[in-house]
Structure 1
Amino acid sequence: MSSSTLKRILHRTLNPKPDSTHSSSISLFTTVSSPPSDPSNPTSPPDPLVTDAVSILTHHRSKSRWSTLRSLTPSGFTPSQFSDIALRLRNNAHLSLRFFLFTRRNSLCSHDVDSCSTLIHILSRSRLKSHARDVLRLALRIPSSEDRVPKVFRSLIKSYNRCGSAPFVFDLLVKSCLDSKEIDGAVMVMRKLKSRGIYLQITTCNALISEVSRRRDASTGYKLYREVFGLDEANKVKPNVNTFNLMMVSFYREGETEMVERIWREMEEEVGCFPNVYSFSVLMETYCFRGMMVEAERVWEDMRLKGVVYDVVAYNTMIGGLCSNLEVTKAKKLFEEMGSKGLECTSLTYDHLVRGYCKVKDVDSAMAVYREMKSKSFEAEGLTIEALVEGLCDGNKERVVEAAEIVKEAVRESEFCPSRKCYELLIKRLCEEGKMDRALSIQAEMVGRGLKPSQETYKAFIDGYGRAGDEETSSLLAIEMAESLKLRDEEEES
């Protein structure tokens, strides 16, 4: 951003119409890179307090300067005085920041947006971006009778030239707005700058689009993308692969898979923008989600032909898609290929395979993969545990104890919380096997987690005790079930 460009911005912002009263402000633009040696008003005499404070801060030792300042100014500084002092110290941004923190810690200045803006510029021109963002977030919290973001923006514009700031201060403002959940304010700043030919950095544009997509919806984010990059006009900032990736992910999460393909085509048409391995993974995941495995495998092969190196995310995406669509044999081959290439599997890799084998009713293979997973200290997801339980219970009733042990171990080691369906399946199968004590212990755990016994649970115990010849307990449970159902119906009616 050139000084002449910024001159036009500030002139339009501060002077919507020609006005001789702003002539002193406009003259500051002639020295953007070299601000005046005396930042105070040259037509008024120097403020002795400002001069003394600068002298103390620059010449006293670190240990004595703060106590001396407190003695000098028991009543503190005005925001304007702070700005003048900070500007005198602008070549020592760390000292300016310490002075700011000192005045806040000792309540020596009621900082306003303008005093914060001065420090923000000083920190920005010294590339102390994280500190600048901290002060920006503070400025955005200062109570105001008007909208806070526009006020901070105008203050930064007004003081930009005087402080000899850096252009990315406005990127920091947008990111700070996003940190503070001021989405509309961030969009407003982008539009104000863009209308004057000023463009945010690509990382800031991407952060803005991402946050809008996340907090609003993917379609709103896409509209903003077209506005930010001015796709129908000449624009100095072009979208990059990360721009397209974040939009594809946003649409995928909302189930709008056709839009993922549309974004992909737009990325291919963008000059100088090439999809990376993550881009391919998102597209493959989209096809896998829709059960379009032929298309997903075509993308996989396209990656190979284009020399894109497969990473763990790409392998997990394809393995997960194949397992979900019952093509476990192909998934296992990719799993073995990962090992041959020296790529470390993740817990997600094993989760996909275990659930895949359970889907095709190959419980023995699922258990083999699960044991390998445990041997590498990976924790299975809840859905994986429940798939194993269902597979063991449905495949062979004699393996229900094995299923119960898996649940017990998962609860103990990984704080796994079984669902009602999981509990009821175990109880039903244990009761069918006549293992009533084990079924009762699981029922107790179920109640301890706030899950009241359902009609199916009662029936499992009634039938179990009946098969065991304990008709008395079976009858008592039948009476209790009837009373429980009656009470539930009365509660629902009330």
Structure 2
Amino acid sequence: MSTAIFRRALTPRATASTTVSLSSISSSPPTPDTSAVSTTVSILTHHRRKSRWSTLLSLFPNGFTPSQTSKILLKIRNNPHLALRFFLFTTRRCHSLSSLHSYSTIIHILARGRQKTRAKSLIKSAIREFDLMGVEDSREFSGKKCKVFKALVESYRVCDSAPFVFDLLIVSLLEMNKLDPCIDIVRMLHNRGVYVNVGTCNELISSALKTRDCFFGYDLYKELFGCEKGKLVPNVHVFNELMLSFHRNGLLDMVEEVWIEMVKSNCDPNAYSYSILMEGYCEKGDLEKAEKVWEELRVKGLNPDVVGYNTLIGGYCRMGEVGKGEELYREMGLRGVEGTCVTYEHLIGGYCLAGDADSAMLLYNDMRRKGFITDNSTVDSLVRVLCCKRSVLEAFEFFKIAMKNADFVARESSYELLIKGLCDEGKTEEALKLQAQMAGKGFRPKSHVYGAFIDGYLKIGKADEAESLRKEMMDM
């Protein structure tokens, strides 16, 4: 009896009151928004690739709201390629209004799927549209005001994202030359206990070293890697960047300080690390310390690369010990390390410094056979040693051959040296042609060039030309 009564209670009657009662008991019908989302998701996941977009256009000619776009994207987040195609479809074909919310959703999805390049592209678009649009002074843009960062934080949990998304944001900003906002964002993340990866820290420090100075970059290193011991561990690449920056600024003591910091951090230096330290000692003329570094490199079991060999060869050659440089060059060949253009330039410079024109020219010819292009300082050294040890005419012929290389730009000193040499030998016509060529390169004749011509004309008995040039020189 009770079962029958219960059954009757659930049986609808054809009365208005019963209809209302049942509608209140049953689940509410789907809203237009929910229906659009579920329909779209079904079309995206079940229709063929070619038909899905035309179907969506016919069903939703007015496009989707930002809220609908984000909901649809979340439903298909496990397929980042499809999610990206849908997002681009809504913005390009449906003319739907993009919002920070929909941008942050697709960025999170792409970051989860490790679609690094596509995610960065959208991050940059979002920053340009929502952060930089209408901002007259881009310096006003800071990490604390970054709307894209705020949107990514707010949508982080609902998108089930990972911290990698903030690495992509920082790298994107760095590629847009926005260093200060990056530093702000990293600080805010660290305050929340979120840490970007070491590679991103390296890029941040590298950018600081290039756009600010070496001490700013070093302070940033201390801040990033000293925030909480063990959270971020620096690698050899960041130490190399710091040492190289200090080395380029001639601060050997700071190069040594960074080296000590690297050792304290239990980070093993690589062959390039040793090369930077050796170069610092070589430039200071301290070959003894450079040799000790070279020996330590070998003791550590590291195979010196061409950079290391070039560093020590250059040090020997600059200090007049070209023989030791030549020994290292032969060792390179035995170890299968191919010499570079820099290797030859160091050795040629060393032999020129020693006044050995024959050895310098042998190396130059070998260098050219291997397809290396000589720089102007090497040509200048060769012109000088040929003028001094062989003949001016041989130096002149060598110079003319070097000038045939379209990429070669001669030094002013090369022209002046040859002009003086030619005038000394009474070859004033050849010297005039060379001076005209020199003027065509933008070099203006100086007093000692005038003096060379005056002396040259006097030697061949052309006193009038010499006097004319003397007056011209006085009017300069």
Give the shorter-chain TM-score range: 0.7 to 0.9
How far apart in 1 are the matches of 2:382 and 2:281?
26
Consecutive unaligned residues in structure 2, runs of 5 or more:
1-28
1:371 to 365, 368, 376: 365
Q: Deviations over 1:58-107 (max 9, x none)?
A: 33333333344444444444433322222222122112222233344447
Q: Residues 44 and 250 from structure 1, CA distance in 2 versus in 1: closer, same or farther, beyond 3 angstroms?
A: farther
* SS in structure 1 at match of 2:157: helix
Are 1:452 and 2:444 matched, yes or no?
A: yes
Shift of residue 314 of structure 1? 0.9
Q: 1:482 matched to which residue of 2?
A: 474
Corresponding residue for 1:162?
Answer: 158
For residues 375 and 183 of structure 2, what CA distance do their matches in structure 1 show? 39
Q: 1:112 to 1:383 in 2, by over 3 A?
A: farther
Superposition RMSD on alpha carbons, in Å? Answer: 2.3
Code of the residue aligned with 1:254 in structure 2: it is N
What is the distance in 2 between the residues matched to 1:316 and 1:243? Answer: 23
From 130, 135, 141, the equivalent of 2:122 is 135
Greater C-alpha radius of gyration? 2
Q: Matches of residues 178-257 of structure 1 in structure 2 within 5 Å?
A: 178-230=174-226, 233-257=228-252
Contact 1:458 1:481 in 2 (8 A): yes
- The alignment status of 1:300 with 2:294, answered yes or no, reads yes
Q: Residue deviations 1:263-322, cap 9 Å, x none?
A: 111111213x11111111111111111111100001111122222211111111110111
Aligned with 1:174 (options 161, 170, 182): 170
Structure 1 gap ranges (5+)? 1-41, 486-494
TM-score with structure 2 length normalisation? 0.86
CA 401–111 in structure 1, closer or farther in 2 if over 3 Å, else same: farther
Report the secondary structure of 1:453's partner residue: coil
Q: 1:80 to 1:446 in 2, by over 3 A?
A: farther
Equivalent residue number for residue 381 of structure 1: 375
> Paired residues, what number?
439
Aligned partners of 2:250 and 2:414: how far apart in 1? 28
SS at match of 2:67: helix
Is residue 318–residue 331 contact of structure 1 (8 Å, CA) maintained in 2? yes
Identify the residue that residue 437 of structure 1 maps to in structure 2: 429
| Structure 2 equivalent of residue 15 of structure 1 | none
Q: Which residues in structure 2 correspond to 1:265-276 (within 5 Å)?
A: 265-271=260-266, 273-276=267-270
| Worse-matched range after superposition: 63-72 or 181-190 | 63-72
Letter in 1 for 2:333: G
Whether the 8 Å contact between 2:108 and 2:156 is mirrored in structure 1 is yes
* Structure 2 contact 403–409 (Cα < 8 Å) conserved: yes
User: Could you list the per-position Cα deviations for residues 152-209 of structure 1 after superposition, in whole angstroms to 9, with x for gaps in the alignment?
Assistant: 1111111111112222111111111111111011111211111122221111111111
User: Structure 1 residues 300-309 or 331-340, which shifts more?
Assistant: 300-309
Q: Relative to 1, partners in 2 of residues 1:147 and 1:71: Cα closer, same or farther, differing over 3 Å? A: farther
Q: Is the 8 A contact 1:112 1:142 kept in 2?
A: no
Residue by residue over 1:45-66, the C-alpha shift from the partner in whole angstroms, topping out at 9 and shown as x without a partner, is: 6344444443443333333333
1:260 Cα deviation from its structure 2 partner: 0.5
Question: Matched residues in 2 for 1:415 and 1:333: separation?
Answer: 31
Q: Which moved more, 1:87-96 or 1:256-265?
A: 87-96
Q: Does 1:466 align with 2:458?
A: yes
For residues 387-440 of structure 1, the C-alpha deviation after alignment (integer angstroms, 9 at most, x for no partner) is: 1122222x13x5223323333333322521112222111111111122223222
Question: Is residue 346 from structure 1 mapped to residue 340 from structure 2 by the alignment?
Answer: yes
CA distance in 1, matches of 2:35, 2:289: 76
Tell me what 2:419 maps to. 427
Identity fraction in percent: 48
Q: Conserved in 2, the CA contact under 8 Å of 1:379 and 1:414?
A: no
Helix, strand or coil at the partner of 1:421: helix
Paired AA for residue 435 in structure 2: Q
Change (3 A) 1:468 1:312: same
Task: Say yes or no: does 1:316 pair with 2:286.
Answer: no
TM-score by length of 1: 0.83
Q: 8 Å contact 2:163–2:195 — kept in the other structure?
A: no
User: Hey, what does 1:87 align to over in structure 2?
Assistant: 74
Compare 110-119 and 129-138 and name the one that shifted more.
110-119
Could you tell me whether the CA contact under 8 Å between 2:454 and 2:467 is conserved in 1?
A: yes
Letter in 2 for 1:268: V
Q: Which amino acid aligns with 2:347?
A: L
- Counterpart CA distance in 2 for 1:190 and 1:455 is 59
2-structure distance, mates of 1:355, 1:384: 7
For residue 225 of structure 1, report the CA deviation from its aligned partner: 0.8
Which position in structure 1 is the counterpart of 2:112? Answer: 125
Contact 1:137–1:176, Cα closer than 8 Å, also in 2: yes
2: CA distance, partners of 1:68 / 1:482: 87
Match of 2:22 in 1: none
* Alpha-carbon distance change, 49 to 477 in structure 1, aligned in 2, over 3 angstroms: farther
8 Å Cα contact 2:163-2:194 kept in structure 1 = no
- Partner Cα distance (1:129, 1:179) in 2: 14
* Structure 1, 325-334 or 60-69: larger mean CA deviation: 60-69
